[in-house]
Chain A
């Protein structure tokens, strides 16, 4: 590799580092993303000076097709559909790493230049990249609700066997790299593992899995870098791998679970089973949009708790309108954001930002919780488990999970389609509490109705 390429890669690596650093702060995030893109462009341009590159037409064709498809998808996606698009991109990155390793192996197998570093790295890249690909495709399908969770007691033992099998195939490949057999077996095992690991993961755990897959796609790129001796792949790949792991950890902490717990056991396994009838019967009070409007009219402070259901109902714009009406009425309105609300880390923040709700109004859990006691009305819109007070008790499926203390507000209004349980599959005593009123219906329609009722007062 020429000095020019190496020097270019050094500048690209610096741009990636500054880019990631910039993405971590609201004021510098836009520039951070641009620096990252600039780093990528520079890296591609200097790579093209590589004297080994001779087959230009096919390569340029790949770049053009990829750019057009990537841009079309990115510019057309709705903000509610963004998590699945990121998952899809992530999968493409993973499978690209696998293809690069397979292509390099075709060369190695003929020239016989393999060394130990190459073989270990190629095996790692094939299996990690393959897991990332099918795992991301399943995540994509689950996020846009075309694939539902599959759970069977056989899946997890089968995964453990396949993992051991992949390890054995990896060792066999490194020990006797005679042909394609072992590398292809590794790739296929990786593809199957990606499917079977992500399929049983339920909706509430998706933020963890998306973060983990993001990390894996970085690690696959880094492994590819070891295999083909490309320093920038190693640096950029491990930066992404590390940042994805940090986010995975943040998400796990927010749910009070460990990563092994998310991957290898289903939520709700512990705790006593509670009959929903015991919790709800005769205690649930329903309300109407007109009544809610009257309660809100006299409220001084309102906290809105958005959840997964807000995204599904695409209610963010209707909620924004309601917020404006309340503010014109002199009411203070803030949003309480649980760390795992939505379908990917920070998803609620993006959705509400799309509806032009000032991000200074979005308050983190630790900051907002002490203020519920001074809150007149808490509106829970499409959230369930993250406001379930049984999390504070010892013997429940979600014991210890940090929650938003909405039950301390003077009045709690829960907008929800029905009394059906959330992901944890347990009843929520909040819905039957003395200070709670249930408004059954679609989140968007409810917000519109309340807004109209307020205007009519």
Chain B
């Protein structure tokens, strides 16, 4: 694909990322970090193609390793973020019911 198109996407996404994350309250720094860490498991898509396209034994096994590790990153990351956030929200609901 045209390099300049990819570079455009990259640049816009960097600016968007900066805008999205500025002014996040400190309470959410840890969940934000672990949630965005899970998103960086997106490299899984590349891993799937490497593992699945049956090009060579070497590529397949490298791909298998990449699929496994990227899946751990993504699945584990979203789950652990959910656990953290659940602690924030249970409190809110108990408070509401108490009132």
B62-83: CB near A (< 8 Å → 1, else 0) gives 1111111111111111111111
Q: Tell me if A224 and B46 are in contact (CB < 8 A).
A: yes
Question: Which secondary structure characterizes the binding site on chain B?
Answer: helix
Given contact pairs A54-B54, A103-B66, A214-B40, A20 touches B17 in the complex (Cβ within 8 A): yes
Q: How far is the CA of A334 from the CA of B25 in the complex (A)?
A: 17
Q: Which of B25, B33, B78 has the most CB of A within 10 A?
A: B33
Are A93 and B45 touching (Cβ within 8 A)?
A: no
Known contacts: A103-B58, A241-B14. The answer to whether A96 contacts B70 by CB under 8 A is: yes
Check if A70 sits within 8 Å of B53, measured CB to CB: no
Query: Are B13 and A364 interface neighbours, CB within 8 A?
Result: no
Interface flags for A102-143 (1: CB within 8 Å of B; 0: not) read 111011001000001100000000000000000000000000
Contacts A23-B32, A82-B80, A93-B41 given; does A238 touch B74 at CB 8 Å: no
Q: Is the CB of A232 within 8 A of B33?
A: no
Q: Which of B29, B78, B89 contacts A40 (CB 8 A)?
A: B78
Cβ contact within 8 Å between B18 and A246: yes
Whether A93 and B30, one on each chain, are in contact in the complex, defined by CB atoms closer than 8 angstroms, is no
Q: Are A90 and B27 closer than 8 Å at their CB atoms?
A: no
CB of B20 within 8 A of CB of A100, answer no
Assess the A106–B38 pair: CB atoms within 8 A: no
In the complex, the answer to whether A58 meets B48 with C-beta atoms within 8 Å is no
Q: Is there contact, CB below 8 Å, between A106 and B52? A: no
Residues of B within 8 A of A (CB-CB), count: 82
Task: Report whether B31 and A23 are in contact in the complex, using a CB–CB cutoff of 8 Å.
Answer: yes
- Interface membership of A412, Cβ < 8 A: no
Residues of A385-413 contacting chain B, CB below 8 A: none
Known: A70-B71, A222-B10. A23 touches B27 (CB 8 A): no
Provide the residues of chain A in CB contact with B52, threshold 8 Å: 48, 50, 52-56, 58-59
Chain B hits for A250, CB < 8 A: 29
Chain B residues with CB under 8 Å of A447's CB are none
A29-47 residues with Cβ-Cβ distance < 8 A to B are: 29-30, 32-34, 36-37, 39-40, 43-44, 47
A33 touches B35 (CB 8 A): yes
* Interface-central residue, A65, A100, A364, by most chain B CB under 10 Å: A100
Asked whether B26 lies within 8 Å of A359 as measured between CB atoms, the reply is no
Q: Is B96 an interface residue (CB 8 A)?
A: no
Interface residues of B in 1-45 (CB under 8 A from A): 1, 3, 6, 9-10, 13-18, 20-45
Contacts of A52 in B (CB 8 A): 49, 52-53
Structural contact, B49 and A89, CB atoms closer than 8 A: no
Cβ–Cβ contact A70 & B55, under 8 A: no
Interface presence of A444 (CB below 8 A): no
- Contact partners of A364 in chain B: CB under 8 A: 26
Closest-CB distance, A354 to chain B (whole angstroms):
5
- Does A356 reach chain B (CB closer than 8 Å)? yes
A44-B45, A234-B9 in contact; A102/B74 too (CB < 8 A)? no
* In the complex, chain A residues whose CB is within 8 Å of the CB of B17: 20, 238-243, 246
Interface CB pairs A-B, < 8 A, 6: A40-B41, A71-B79, A82-B80, A222-B13, A233-B43, A349-B28
Across the A-B interface, the 4 shortest Cβ-Cβ residue pairs: A66-B71, A242-B17, A346-B29, A62-B67
